[in-house]
């Protein structure tokens, strides 16, 4: 009888834990790797299909997979009251979450040449005027962005951002997989360029400046303009 009671208690505890885990797992929406807004070879010859298969298909997918695994662990830890475990996971969640979201924003900032990649905003547009006001000229912005992004030590990102407080367009960099929002909610991202080695090495080897020169040919300025108008309204 005692063994039977112990067995029944064990079953009940296991069932309760399984239920809590299922409820915990269901409490968050899993991250997904969205389809690219163009074909995997759509950015050629600026970015090769080979590089995209590694960068999007492997690197970005790894961030998504890691993020979901970490979120499940964190959800179980929080449900079970293991706050130490939850806190210990937070940095890895931030890193992989940033890797996922930064890449998602990056892919949407690009477009094939045949579909308008590299076509500059019209000189009379709000975006063009905002860039000229901030940097003196459009070419000056490109030069500043390219030089300072290429100069990032280690890995990181270059950003064109709208500062809600000053109503100006600014340039920023972030390290590793940090988000632009880490610098403050007053900054809205308009454009980002990935300067991690995996973003360019297969095509440009160790010559970052060449990558930064070429990447402008596939920037989706129409998308950047949409973001700018939305941020100001």
| CB distance 71 to 49 below 8 Å | no
Bridge partners, residue 55, by sequence: none
Establish whether the linkage from the previous residue to 45 is cis, with ω within 30° of 0.
yes
Give the pair of three-digit tokens for residue 231.
Answer: 């941020």
Q: d(Cα 196, Cα 79) in Å, to the nearest integer? A: 36
Bridge partners, residue 194, by sequence: 157
55 is in an annotated binding site: yes
198 is in an annotated binding site: yes
| CB distance 146 to 213 below 8 Å | yes
| CB distance 161 to 170 below 8 Å | yes
Establish whether the linkage from the previous residue to 170 is cis, with ω within 30° of 0.
no
Q: d(Cα 220, Cα 115) in Å, to the nearest integer? A: 9
Q: d(Cα 192, Cα 108) in Å, to the nearest integer? A: 10
**R_g of the chain computed on alpha carbons:** 22
Task: Describe the crossing of helices 61-79 and 2-25 by its angle, rounded to 10 degrees.
Answer: 130
59 is in an annotated binding site: no
* Binding-site entries for Mn(2+): 55, 103, 194, 198
* Binding-site entries: 55, 103, 194, 198
């Amino acid at each position: 009888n005692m063994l039977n009671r112990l067995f029944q208690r064990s079953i009940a505890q296991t069932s309760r834990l399984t239920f809590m885990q299922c409820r915990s797992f269901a409490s968050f929406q899993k991250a997904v790797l969205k389809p690219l807004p163009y074909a995997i070879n759509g950015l050629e010859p600026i970015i090769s299909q080979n590089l995209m298969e590694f960068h999007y298909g492997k690197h970005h997918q790894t961030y998504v997979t890691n993020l979901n695994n970490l979120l499940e662990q964190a959800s179980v830890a929080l449900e079970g009251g293991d706050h130490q475990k939850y806190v210990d996971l937070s940095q890895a969640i931030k890193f992989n979450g940033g890797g996922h979201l930064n890449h998602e924003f990056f892919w949407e900032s690009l477009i094939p040449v045949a579909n308008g990649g590299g076509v500059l905003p019209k000189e009379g547009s709000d975006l063009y005027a905002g860039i000229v006001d901030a940097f003196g000229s459009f070419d000056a912005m490109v030069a500043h962005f390219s030089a300072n992004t290429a100069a990032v030590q280690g890995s990181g990102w270059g950003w064109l951002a709208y500062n809600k407080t000053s109503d100006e367009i600014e340039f920023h960099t972030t390290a590793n997989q940090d988000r632009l929002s880490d610098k403050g909610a007053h900054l809205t991202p308009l454009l980002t360029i990935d300067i991690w080695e995996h973003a360019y090495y297969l095509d440009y080897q160790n010559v970052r400046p060449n990558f930064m020169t070429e990447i402008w040919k596939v920037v989706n300025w129409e998308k950047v303009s949409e973001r700018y108008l939305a941020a100001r309204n």
